[in-house]
Amino acid sequence: MRLTRAIAATWATTLVFGLGHAAMPVDSEASSWGGEVRRRVAITIDDLPTVSRNFTSAADRDRLTTTLVGAVVRHHVPAIGFVNEGKLYRGGTLDERDVDLLRQWTRAGLELGNHTYSHADLHTVDADTYLNDIARGDNVTRRVMAEVGRTPHFFRHPFLHTGRALAVRARVDSLLAGRGYRVAPVTIDNSDYLFAAAYDDALARRDSAEAKRVATQYVAYMDTVFGFDEAQSRTIVGREIPQVLLIHASFLNAQMFDALAKMMERRGYAFASLEEVLSDSAYKSADTYVGPAGITWLHRWALTRGMPGATFAGEPEVPPDIMAHAAR
C-alpha cells in the first residue's frame, strides 16, 4: 500500500526533525558485472490463488493462474506466491479446484507462503485474532507443498501492516519463528492493484482498446517505480541491494508478466529467490517502525535510522485517469 498524503506529510515532518544521515554498511559484493549494472530481484506475488474484482468464476481463476504461472516459468523466475487460504473455501467447504490452482504453482517448482487466512489487518484486529489467522492460514499450503517435498518458510503481512507497537510485533515474530516462518519484506512496492482494477473494468466492458491502454501505462509506471526504488536504495543503503518486488495475482499481472519481466531484464535484473535476496546483509538492518503506513523496508530502515526527508521525494504517481477508473 502506498502512503496517503496525510501520512506522508506527518512522515516528512518526522524526518526533517530526525537525527540526520547515518550511512549503512556497504557490502563488499560487486555491484557491476562486465561493466554493466547487474541487479537482482525476487518476485513475490500476493493474494493467491487469485484476486480480481470482475472475474471470479472457477474458469476465470483457472485461466488467470495458468497464464500467470506460465509466464513466470517462461522467464525462469523463482517466484513465491502468498496465499490467503480463506479464498479456498466456498460455503465453508474447501473447493478442490482452488487447491489445484495452488498445485499449479508448486508443480511448476514455485514456492508458496502464508499471507494469513483472511487477509487480516494487524492495525485493525487484536493481536490474538491476528495470530489465529496466521495459524489457520497454512493448512492447505503445507499439504500442497508437502506433495512436492517442501514446507512454507515465508510470511507476508497483509497491507504490509506490521503492528503499531514493538510488543505486538514481537508477539507476531515469535509465533512466526515458532512455525518456521521468516517475514517477507518488500523493497519495491507499488499501486498495481489500482491498474488491475481499471484493467478488469475495461475487460468487463469488453473495451479491449482501453484494457490495452491501461496495460501499457502500467508497465511504463512500473519502470519508473523500479527507477525510484533503485535510487532509494543508493540513498538509504549506499548501494543497490537485491530488491524484493510485490505484485498481486491479478489478471493484469497474468497478462502483463511477460512485459514486466522484459522491462526488468532491460534494467539489468536477474531473477533470484526470496531466500537468495534476503541473504544480502542489508536485510539484517534494524527496523523499529511502528507507524500506520504499509511502507517498504527501505523506508523502515531509513526511518529507524532517522534519515532526512529529501530521501523520499519523487515517488511515482498513478495517472489520475487510472485512479478515477479504479475508484468506480
- Positions touching Zn ion (CB under 5 A) are 46-47, 158
Strand 39-48 vs strand 80-83: parallel, antiparallel, or unpaired? parallel
Q: In whole angstroms, how close is the CB of 45 to Zn ion at the nearest point?
A: 10
State which residue, 233 or 296, has the beta carbon closest to Zn ion. Answer: 296
- The residue nearest Zn ion at its CB is 46
Q: Which is nearer to Zn ion, 48 or 69 (CB)?
A: 48
Shortest spacing between CB 249 and Zn ion, in angstroms: 9
Beta carbon of residue 47, minimum distance to Zn ion (angstroms, whole number): 4
8-state DSSP, 42: E
Nine-digit cell string for 203: 475487460
The SS3 call for residue 294 is: coil
Report the residue number, 46 or 200, with the smaller CB distance to Zn ion. Answer: 46
In the bound state with Zn ion, the residue whose beta carbon lies nearer, of 114 and 233, is 114
CB of 170 to Zn ion, least distance (A): 23
Q: How far is the CB of 114 from Zn ion (least distance, A)?
A: 11
Tell me how far, at minimum, the Cβ of 197 lies from Zn ion, in Å.
Answer: 14
Degrees to nearest 5, angle at CA 143 with 106 and 163: 85
Nearest CB to Zn ion, comparing residues 81 and 269: 81
Q: How far is the CB of 185 from Zn ion (least distance, A)?
A: 14
Q: Output the DSSP codes for 151-170.
A: ---EE--GGG---SSHHHHH
Q: Please, what is the angle between helix 208-237 and helix 192-204, to 10°?
A: 180
Q: H helices within 76-186, ranges in order? A: 96-107, 127-135, 139-146, 166-178
Q: Which is nearer to Zn ion, 158 or 242 (CB)?
A: 158
Residues 6 or more apart whose CB falls under 8 angstroms from that of 136 comprise 85, 117
Of 86 and 292, CB closest to Zn ion: 86
SS3 10: helix
Backbone angles phi, psi at 57, to 5 degrees: -70, 165
Residues 6+ apart with CB under 8 A from 60: 50, 52
Strand partners, 246: 44
Contact between 122 and 157 (Cβ < 8 Å): yes
